[in-house]
Structure 1
C-alpha cells in the first residue's frame, strides 16, 4: 500500500520556487511517526515562508484599513515595503511592521490635508441645504470634481517623478517583490505595478471613478444603486431614471476629470493602447472591503474576494477613567459618538445642537470632538480628543453608536451588534447609511436640517427597547460572524495565493479587452438585425416576383380564354 505522508507547501524568501516538505510516515490509523519530526518541521517552516510585498496606499481612513492588513501580513513572516510621501498625514515613516520609501512631494493631495477636507465638508453642507434644486445637483458634482481632480493631478505628477527617478526604479526592480498591494482609489500604484511588471492585489472599495464593482462586474442600474443616489436595490421608475443620471455624472467624471491626468502618463510610458482602467481591470485580485451582510446583493467575479469587517476584533479592557464612566451609566448605558479620522468638527452651530440633544437623554455620552467646546454641553457628556472606538463598541454598556457613516465604523458596529444613528456628511456615507437602514440596523438624520428636537427624537427612537434596531443589528452581527473563515484570514490567504502563483489570471475575466460595442454584443445585434433585414427583404422580393409572375400567368390565361 502506498505510504501516506503529510506535506507542507511554501515559498522561500527571495524566491518564487516552491519548497515541499514531507513528514512521514503515517500508519493506517493516521498516527504520525515520529512526532519530533513534525515539531521540527513546524519550527523550520515558520522561517522559510515569507514573501516581499510592495505597498502603495492612500492616506487618511484608507490607510487605517491598509495598516491593519499589513500588521497581519507581517505576523505571517512577510517583508513589507510601503511607498509614502513626505506630506503623508497618517502613513508613518517608521513602523515595526514595514520599512518605508519616502517620495518627496512639495504639496499634499486634497485627501491628505485636514484644511482641504474641512473646506470640502463646509462646502458640501452648504450645497446640501439647497438639495432638490438643479443648482444644488450641479454644484454637488462640481465640488466633487474639483476636489478629486486636484488629487488626481497631484498623483499623476508623483507617478512621473517616480518613473523618472532611475535610482528608485532600480532599487524597486532589484528588490524582486512578489506582489504589489494597492489601494486604487488614487491609481498611482496601479501604474507603478504595471511599470515593474508585478502581480497586483487591490485592497479596495472605491476606485478613481466610483464604486469598484462597476469596473469589473455586470452592474444593471435597474437594481444596483449608483454612488450618491442614496437608493436601495428596490427602486421605482423615477428612482431608476435618476440612477441612470447619477451614473452618467460619474461616467462624465471618468472621461473628463479622473482619467485625463493618467491618460497622459500612460501614453508617455506605456503607449496609447494602455489606460488606467484597463490596468485596473487586469488586476489579479480584488480584496473588497464589504460583505453581503451589509452590501446589497449584486453580480460579482471570481477574482473578487469579500473581506468586509476584516478589521473587526474582540474589544480590549478600557482605560480606568473610561471604564468608570461606563459602569456609572447604570441601566441606561452609554452613547458613543465619533466622526472618524478625517472629520472631527461640524462647526459650532451643529455642535451646540448635538450637545443639547445629548444633555436631554439619561445615558452617559462619550464624544470625540476636536472643535470648540459647546456651551450647551450636559454633565452626562464626556468630550475626548481620541477614543478607543472598537473597545467602546464592544463594551456591554454601549447602547448606540452615533457616526458619520464611514465603512470602518459601520463594520465595527456590526461586529459588536450596536445600533447606529448616522449623520452622513460626504462621499459614500449617505449610501452606507441607506444600506444600514435597509437592514434595520439604524437610521440617519439630515445634517442640514438638524435641530435639538429632531436629533433628540432620533436618539430616543434608537434607544427605545421596544424598537427592533438592537435585535436587527444583533442578527446582522450573527450573519457577519457565521463564516467558514474570518475576513482577515481570507485576506491573508488570497494575498499569499497570488504570491505563490505569481498572479491569478485564471480568475480574471478577459471581458475588459473587448471594445465597448463587443462587450454589449452590439456588433452581433447589428449583424443579426442586418441578416434578418436581408432575409425579410429577400422573402419580400421573392414574393413580389412570384406574385408578378402569377399575375402575368393569370392575365395570359384570361386573355387566351377570351380569344
Structure 2
C-alpha cells in the first residue's frame, strides 16, 4: 500500500508539472549564424532546441568553415560564395601575430586597429552581399515566407540576420555579446564611460582621470567604425530592401530578446535591460570520461598533475620561435602537458608533452588532474575554465581576448602574458606563479561556485526565452523605446533648455518689475522734494 501511495503522489505531481509548465509546440526557427567559434556556441543551442522538437533552418555560405550543409539538427540553405572570399581572415590573423611580436608602440596600435577595422568592414560587406543575393532571388524569398517561421535566431557580430528578419517581419532573438561594432550593452543600455570600459580599452571599472580619457578615445574608435566603416554597407542594404529605410543599430535595438553569453561573475557590474538574458557558460556541462589512452597519459602525471594548452579554433600555431620557447619551458616541468598545436613540431619538446590536433577541452578542464589552462582568452574557453575552476594563463591575440582575460586577472584567477613579451624566462615565470600560488586556484574556484549557484541553468534560461518569443510572437513589452528618442530628448537637453529659459525669463521679469517700482518710487520722492 505504501508503494502504491508513493507512486500515486509521484504521478499526481508529474501531471501537475506537465499541466502548469508553459509549453511551446514545435516551432519553426530560421537561423542566420556567424561562422567560426561563434558557431560552436550556436550549434550547442540548436542541439537543445532540436531536442525540444523545434524545426530549424540554417542559412550558410558555400565556403563555410564549420557549418555543415547536412546535419541531423537542421536543414540548410546554402548561398554560393567565391572561395577566395574567406582568405582575408587568415591573412589578417597572421599579420596580427607578426605585428604583435614586434612589440607595443603607437605605430603598432594604429596598424592593428586599422587592419582590424578593414578586415571587419570587408566581412560585413561580404555578408551584406549574401543577404542581397537572398532577397534578389524571388523564389527563395517566396520559400522563406511560405515556411512561416516563428522567429529569426541570429548572431549580430556580423548582422545580416537582423536585416533579413526585418524584411520578413519576424521577431528576433540575438545570441550575442558582440555586435557589428563593439559590445551589445552599448547599443541598448545606459553605458556611462566613467566606469564602463569600452571594448579594446584594456580597462576595468575603476578608472582614474587619464584612463577615462583613454576610455573615451576607444569608444570614439568604435563610433567611427560604426558610422564610416560598417554602417554604410548596411545602410545601402536597408535603403534598397526595407521600406522607409533603417540603420543597423536601430535594427539591433528592435530585437526582442538578447541572449548574452556572459554573466556578472565574469562581467563588471553595469546597467542592463529587461530583454537581456544572461546565459554565460550555457555550453558547460560536467566532464565526461576521457578516451582510455588520454586518461592513461593524464594519470601518469601523478601528484604533479597536467597543464593543457589550446589557442582556440582559429589559431593553429604560434610563430615558430615562440613555440620553441614554450616547448622548452614545458620540457622542464614535472607536470604532463597536453598541447593542441597544428604547426611545425617544436624541437624543444620533452617526453612529458603530448601534441594533439584536437582535445576534449571541456572534459580535460573538468579532470581533477588539470592544474592550469594556457589559453588565448576566447569566450568559450574562459567560461569553461570558470565553470571547472581552473586558473588561466592567457596569451591574447585579437578581438575581445585581452578584455576577457583582464576580467580574470582583475579577480586574481588568471595572468596575462603579451605575445610581444613571451620568451622562455617570462613564460616559465608566469607558469610557475599560477601553478604554485594557491590564490589563483582558490579565486577561480570561488568564481566557479558563484557561477554554478543559479536558480535556473543558463541553457534552460536560453531555451525558455526563445520559446517565450515564439509563444507570444515577440516581446516588445520588454524592449525600451529610448532608442527612438533623439539624443537631446534622451538626455533631457530640451527640457533643461526650456526650464533655463523659463527661469531666465522669470528672473528678468522680476528684475524689470523691481526696476520699474524703484523708478516710480524715485520719481515720487523727487516730486515731493520739489
Q: TM-score range by the shorter chain?
A: over 0.9
Stretch moving more, 521-530 or 241-250 = 521-530
What is the correspondence of 1:529-544 to structure 2 with a 5 Å cutoff? 529-544=500-515
2:289 aligns to what?
A: 317
Would you say 1:67 and 2:43 are equivalent positions?
yes
Structure 1 pair 221–36 and aligned structure 2 pair: CA distance change class (3 A): closer
1:420 alignment counterpart: 392
1:333 aligns with 2:305: yes
Match in the other structure for 1:283: 255
TM-score where L is the length of structure 2: 0.94
For 1:413-467, what per-residue CA distance to the aligned partner results, in whole angstroms no more than 9, with x for missing partners? 1111101000011000010011011122111111111110010010000000x43
| 1:330-364 deviation per Cα after TM superposition (whole angstroms, max 9, x unaligned) | 11100000000111211111111111121121111
> Which residue among 380, 383, 387 is the counterpart of 1:408?
380
Residue in 2 that maps onto 1:431: 403
- After TM superposition, the structure 1 = structure 2 runs for residues 119-198 of structure 1, keeping only pairs within 5 Å, are 119-128=91-100, 133-198=105-170
The equivalent of 2:348 in structure 1 is 376
The one-character-per-residue Cα deviations of 1:103-142 (angstroms, maximum 9, x if unpaired) are 1112465xxx4x5333223332444457664433332321
Q: Distance in 1 between matches of 2:222 and 2:12?
A: 61
Superposition map of 1:215-254 within 5 A: 215-254=187-226
Alignment map for 1:320-399 (pairs within 5 Å): 320-399=292-371
Say which is worse superposed, 242-251 or 126-135, in terms of deviation.
Answer: 126-135
Q: 1:32 to 1:548 in 2, by over 3 A?
A: farther
SS in 2 for 1:210: coil
- Cα pair distance change 1:30/1:434, threshold 3 Å: same
Give the 3 Å change call, closer, same or farther, for CA 442–33 of structure 1 in structure 2: closer
Aligned to 2:438: 467
Which position in structure 1 is the counterpart of 2:32?
Answer: 56
1:161 to partner: Cα distance = 0.8
Q: Distance in 2 between matches of 1:542 and 1:200?
A: 61
Match of 1:508 in 2: 479
- CA 325–160 in structure 1, closer or farther in 2 if over 3 Å, else same: same
Q: Among residues 442, 452, 466, which one is paired with 1:495 in the alignment?
A: 466
**Mean alpha-carbon deviation: is it higher for 432-441 or for 29-38?**
29-38
1:268-327 CA-partner distances (Å, limit 9, x unpaired): 122455222111101100000001111111100000000000000111111122111100
Displacement of 1:497: 0.6
**TM-score for both structures, normalised by structure 1:** 0.89
State the shift of 1:537 in Å.
2.3
Query: How much has 1:529 moved relative to structure 2?
Result: 2.2
Q: Shift in Å at residue 87 of structure 1?
A: 1.1
Q: CA RMSD in A?
A: 2.4
CA contact (8 A) 2:290 2:364 kept: yes
**Structure 2 unaligned regions, length at least 5:** none
Structure number with higher helix proportion = 2
Cα deviation, 1:126-164, whole Å, max 9, x if unaligned, reads 444576644333323211111101011111111111111
Distance change in 2, residues 1:515/1:39 (3 Å): closer
Tell me the SS of whatever aligns to 2:350. Answer: coil
- The CA distance in 1 between the partners of 2:282 and 2:65, in whole Å, is 23
